[in-house]
Chain A
Amino acid sequence: MMAAIETQGLTKRYGRLVAVEDLNLVVERGEVFGILGPNGSGKTTTILMLLGLTEPTQGSVRVLGRDPVREPLKVKRKVGYLPDTVGFYDELSGRENLRYTAALNGLRGPAVEARIEELLDQMGLLDAADRPVRTYSRGMKQRLGLADVLLKEPELVILDEPTLGLDPQAAHEFLHLVRSLKERGLTVLLSSHLLHQVQAITDRVGLFRKGRMELVGSVPELAKRVLGGAYRIRVRAEGEGLEAALAAIPGVLRVRREDGAFLLETERDLRPDVARAVVQEGGRLFGLELEEPSLDEIYRAYFEEVSRDAA
């Protein structure tokens, strides 16, 4: 089976400005892939090229085995796209907006009406379905956008900054909905500059900076590669000579002090060993927790390193 998305040497230039450079991206089917990076790092341009809405300057794109420049209609029939700030026809109701999208996809008839009803229900919009969209909140519009995307029963869903402008609660709920798409067997590509938000729902991520995708992998993989240890244990303890004792535990790569606690980078989950070591040293143990490495940290650490190397 072919990968959902495959690009080779994909490049987009606007005059002298390089928006995306030499992108080699492979997204497997059924995967939730996050393309992450600050604003202006080439995420949206990449997405538009995947949809055939912008022509690449160089390189090739395959989406669901097809070229979006040569066969745009076939690609767009199978790919749902939610733009970064999704808009609807304000004077029409949510249902009418969905009907228009369905008609543009050549879908008509009672089966479509039933599907619209079902999607509105899933997105929790049934009560507001017949109100004009202008009365919708940002979060409701975003959910209507997801219904709009799912209407054509896509194989691949592309979401550009889906949590932009949502309050934390709405963002959390929305990402939960996105994650549920994976269970339906859909492939999801989403972009975001809010690294911590998408960390929880993506299988793999690609980190963008200045038009280049510099790092690709799952979050633990990247943590291992960039931060050294894959596991980080925060130990809040008091006692003489603890730092040396902790460093001596097999599997501990590094010990740092941070805010009155010890921060251990380890190869495995060494919490029992750490507890034993503290007790054996006669120290007093107040807290012991395994820290998930955050993408923010990985991003910062990696690009600090890169810019240091460059300087």
Chain B
Amino acid sequence: MTRREGSAFSGLGVVFLKEFADQLSGTRMRLLEALIVLTAMATIYAAIQTIKNVVGEDVFLFLRLFTTAKEPLPSFVAFAGFLVPLLAIALGFDAVNGEFQRRTLGRVLSQPIYRDALLFGKYLAGLATLALVLLAVWLLITGLGILFTGLAPSGEEVARSLLYLAATLAYGGVWLAVALFFSVVFKSPTTSALAAIGVWLFFTVFWGMIAGLLAPVISPVHYGFPEEVLRQAQTELALARIAPNTLYAEATLALLQPEVRALGPVLPAQLEGMVLGTPLPLSQSVLLVWPQFAGLIAASVLFFTLAYVVFQRMEIRA
């Protein structure tokens, strides 16, 4: 088999720009933006009410804006962990089957571009839209924070919150790829939306329970040795980390709470000589979440590749 001619990316920019423009001008986007902005304002306002009392006592006050919850509202981080997958799925669930339904697919693919360009362009446009929304929300939170607390965030706080934003984007990218995959597999946008939401619910609600059930089966505790207990805990954690939401939660935790020193079981021996409660430097926190980051990106690549393979073989006729 000889190499195919031309670049797989010719037309990529064109597809990207059109899809990006479509996403930004669509009604769907307006609704989601409104939802996210409302969430951000409500949670941040609630957090500020709580934080105001402790101003001056906390070095990372600014980061607390993201993580502080006040009954009955959860923290912004918790809300984002919930809304970002939904947003990503909403941006991608009809990417390919929507073209199919509108009967534009045959016409577009008969233009001198490869299918690669169409799929990748759509993915990148979704990711760019997501990035744009997240950045806007981040600016909103920062602005509100400065306005209400009267404090400017430190360099490290800005860096940590931007890294948190990057982690959120990587997490959204996974669900975008999942949605894209289902939009290739299923001909009907309704089915693909439900399938993507189903997968998301499965990981969010059930996977933790399943990991808890499977761990004792894989690594049983027979005699109650500490080694056995530790192995079981590690198995459970490894299983839980298959779910992107676990990886994302861990990354968020370590990035926004600098005092977090480990993600997983820690032995007393490892704590020796450690000053508890002191924050880690930024570089160490990044090192801590690097595997989580890599895992999220790998999951995106995996689902995108699956979507790509199915799309290449897809019959475009009705």
Q: Which residues of A contact B (CB under 8 A)?
A: 44-45, 48, 51, 53-54, 70-74, 76-77, 79-91, 100-101, 103-106, 145, 148, 152
Contacts and interface: CB of A to CB of B under 8 A. Distances in A.
Interface in B124-154: none
A72 B4 contact: yes
B5 A104 contact: no
Nearest to A87: B103
6 tightest CB-CB pairs across the interface, nearest first?
A: A87-B103, A81-B110, A83-B106, A104-B111, A73-B6, A76-B112
A132 to B, nearest CB: 12
A51 B112 CA distance: 10
B298 interface: no
Contacts of A72: 4-5, 112, 114
Contacts of A53: 106, 109-110, 316
B110 A76 contact: yes
9 contacts: A51-B110, A53-B106, A53-B109, A72-B114, A76-B110, A76-B112, A89-B102, A104-B15, A145-B107
A76 B318 CA distance: 20
Contacts of B107: 81-83, 86-88, 101, 145, 148
A233 to B, nearest CB: 44
B284 interface: no
B317 A48 contact: yes
B315 interface: yes
B278 interface: no
Given A76-B110, A100-B14, 17 more contacts: A70-B5, A77-B112, A81-B110, A87-B102, A87-B103, A87-B104, A101-B107, A101-B111, A103-B18, A104-B11, A104-B14, A104-B108, A104-B111, A104-B112, A104-B113, A106-B11, A148-B107
Q: Most chain-B Cβ atoms within 10 A of its Cβ — which of A87, A89, A145, A148?
A: A87
A112 to B, nearest CB: 13
A76 B107 CA distance: 11
Nearest to A76: B112
Contacts of A101: 107, 111
B112 A90 contact: no
Interface string B95-122: 0000000111011111111100000000
Contacts of A73: 5-6, 10, 112-114
B265 to A, nearest CB: 53
Interface of B: 2, 4-6, 10-11, 14-15, 18, 22, 25, 102-104, 106-114, 315-318
A105 B15 CA distance: 11
Contacts of B10: 73, 106
Nearest to A14: B315
Contacts of A90: 102
Q: Most chain-B Cβ atoms within 10 A of its Cβ — which of A44, A101, A104?
A: A104
Contact of B111 (A71, A76, A87, A145): A76
A216 B2 CA distance: 35
Nearest to A44: B317
Nearest to B18: A100
A148 B22 CA distance: 20
B68 to A, nearest CB: 41
B114 A81 contact: no
Contacts of A100: 14, 18
A224 B114 CA distance: 46
A76 B14 CA distance: 17
Contacts of B111: 76, 101, 104-105, 152
A98 to B, nearest CB: 11
B316 to A, nearest CB: 6
Contact of A85 (B109, B113, B318): B318
A72 B115 CA distance: 11
A91 B174 CA distance: 28
A70 B104 contact: no
Contacts of B315: 54
Contacts of A83: 103, 106-107, 110
Nearest to B13: A103
A91 B112 CA distance: 24
A152 B112 CA distance: 10
Contact of B4 (A44, A70, A76, A77): A70
Contacts of A145: 107
A71 B4 CA distance: 7
A74 B14 CA distance: 18
A74 B11 CA distance: 14
A148 B106 CA distance: 13
A113 to B, nearest CB: 16
Nearest to A160: B106
Contacts of A77: 112
A145 B18 CA distance: 19
Q: Most chain-B Cβ atoms within 10 A of its Cβ — which of A73, A86, A101, A105?
A: A73
A168 B107 CA distance: 25
B2 A70 contact: yes
Contacts of B22: 89, 91
A176 B255 CA distance: 67
B79 to A, nearest CB: 31
